[in-house]
């Protein structure tokens, strides 16, 4: 199956909505129950689910894409891509992303895999908030991953797990992937932000928005630095470099491009092998970032999920 560029533009236009950083309001100071259980998105091969998170003491939703091959067999196990959305909630991107991945699988470009669309809140940052109110990282690592592996026929090993995301999601993929290399073999970092090591240079957020996010999530810059991909990569460089697949992709017209260049140089100095994709003429645009990766997108994913890890038991 081949998708035309014009068709892909229509398919992916909604992804752009997750790329901006909205200004904080008083309502942002607290996370409501409604944020944790989002409305169901209707899309082919996509289902909406809710599970109980012990870390949050709340019910949390996620969406799941399952390829046709999953329904056709009763024993086969599948690798899993955990997609981390950008700021804004990422709901609009679920259907077009699922269609994008499904088309590639149907075309034989990559082996069938599951996609978990993680609920990371509009501005959750994929980190445990310093004040303890919103332990998103703990929810993902301690609750969501075990739930996925116990509920679906997954390859429950690091070789069967990939983290990917755009903007805030690229930042989340970097920090979680480098912090837990024993859990995730593959890390894809697309259009990532904030990759500023000290949270002073934030080209996609004005100072008021930046400071509000800093106060709400991190409390102070010391905590921001301690949990940042820069520090996590440095602490775990040896483990990450040993047997991980890492990719950075960003448009050279993206306002955060220079920070990704610095992060690319940082990983190089740490001795962490990675693919570096500066995409000519591309801004902070999920659609054009994905399209500009071309066939390299699927080459990378084939590497990520091969050789397959097999298990005989079924659920």
How far is Cα of residue 83 from the mean position of the Cα atoms in its chain? 4
d(CA 278, CA 59): 39
Distance CA 152, CA 155 (A): 9
Q: What is the pLDDT along the chain (315 residues), one digit of tens a residue?
A: 444 444 444 444 444 434 444 444 433 445 555 689 999 999 999 999 999 999 999 999 999 999 999 998 778 999 999 999 999 888 999 999 999 999 999 999 999 999 999 999 999 999 999 999 999 999 999 999 999 999 999 999 999 999 999 999 999 999 999 999 999 999 999 999 999 888 887 766 778 888 999 999 999 999 999 999 999 999 999 999 999 999 999 999 999 999 999 999 999 999 999 999 999 999 998 878 988 999 999 999 999 998 644 444 444
Burial of 281 (0-12, 13-18, 19+ CB in 10 A): exposed
Q: 278 pairs with which residues across the strands?
A: 250
CATH of domain 5-18+32-304: 3.40.50.1820
Evaluate the CA torsion angle 123, 128, 131, 132 in order and state its sign. Answer: positive
CA distance 119 to 136: 9
Is residue 230 within 8 A of residue 197, CB to CB? The reply is yes
> pTM here?
0.88
H-helix or E-strand spanning residue 279? strand 275-279
Per-residue b or e along 89-98, where b marks 16 or more CB atoms closer than 10 Å to that residue's CB: bbbbbbbbbb
Could you tell me if 21 and 205 are in contact, meaning their C-beta atoms sit under 8 angstroms apart? yes
Indicate the SS3 state at residue 83.
Answer: strand
Contacts of 289 (CB under 8 A, 6+ apart): 166, 190, 191, 249, 250, 251, 279, 282
Q: Which of 124, 132, 216, 254 is nearest to 176 (CA)?
A: 124
Tell me the two tokens of residue 254. 């993206």
Structural domain spans, the chain: 5-18+32-304
| Per-residue confidence (pLDDT) for residue 311, from 0 to 100 | 45
| Tokens standing for residue 186 | 């593959």
**Cα dihedral across residues 114, 117, 120, 123: positive or negative:** positive
**pLDDT of 33:** 55
Q: Which two tokens stand for residue 10?
A: 């229509």
C-alpha 35, offset from chain centre: 18
User: Using CB atoms within 10 A of its CB, is residue 69 exposed (0-12), middle (13-18) or buried (19+)?
Assistant: middle
Say how far apart CA 170 and CA 194 lie, in whole Å: 9
Closest CA to 77 of 118, 45, 111: 111
**How far does CA 31 lie from the centroid of its chain?**
21
């Amino acid at each position: 199956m081949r998708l035309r560029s014009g068709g892909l533009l229509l398919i992916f236009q909604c992804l752009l909505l997750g790329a901006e950083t909205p200004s904080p309001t008083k309502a942002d100071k607290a996370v409501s129950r409604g944020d944790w259980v989002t409305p169901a998105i209707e899309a082919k091969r996509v289902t909406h689910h809710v599970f109980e998170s012990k870390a949050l003491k709340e019910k949390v939703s996620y969406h799941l894409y399952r390829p046709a091959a999953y329904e056709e067999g009763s024993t086969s196990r599948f690798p899993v891509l955990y997609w981390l959305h950008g700021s804004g909630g990422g709901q609009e991107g679920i259907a077009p992303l699922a269609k994008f991945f499904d088309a590639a699988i149907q075309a034989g470009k990559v082996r069938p895999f599951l996609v978990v669309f993680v609920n990371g809140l509009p501005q959750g940052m994929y980190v445990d908030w310093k004040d303890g109110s919103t332990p998103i990282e703990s929810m993902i690592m301690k609750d969501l991953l075990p739930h996925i592996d116990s509920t679906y026929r997954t390859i429950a090993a690091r070789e069967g797990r990939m983290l990917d995301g755009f903007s805030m999601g690229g930042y989340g993929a970097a920090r979680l992937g480098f912090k837990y290399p024993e859990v995730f073999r593959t890390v894809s970092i697309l259009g990532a932000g904030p990759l500023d090591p000290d949270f002073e240079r934030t080209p996609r957020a004005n100072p008021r928005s930046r400071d509000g996010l800093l106060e709400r999530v991190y409390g102070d810059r010391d905590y921001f630095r301690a949990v940042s991909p820069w520090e996590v990569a440095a602490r775990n460089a040896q483990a990450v470099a040993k047997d991980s697949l890492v990719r950075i992709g960003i448009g050279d017209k993206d306002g955060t491009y220079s920070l990704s260049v610095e992060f690319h140089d940082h990983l190089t100095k740490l001795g962490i092998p990675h693919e570096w994709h500066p995409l000519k003429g591309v801004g902070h645009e999920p659609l054009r970032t994905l399209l500009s990766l071309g066939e390299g997108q699927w080459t990378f994913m084939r590497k990520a999920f091969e050789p397959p890890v097999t298990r005989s038991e079924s659920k």
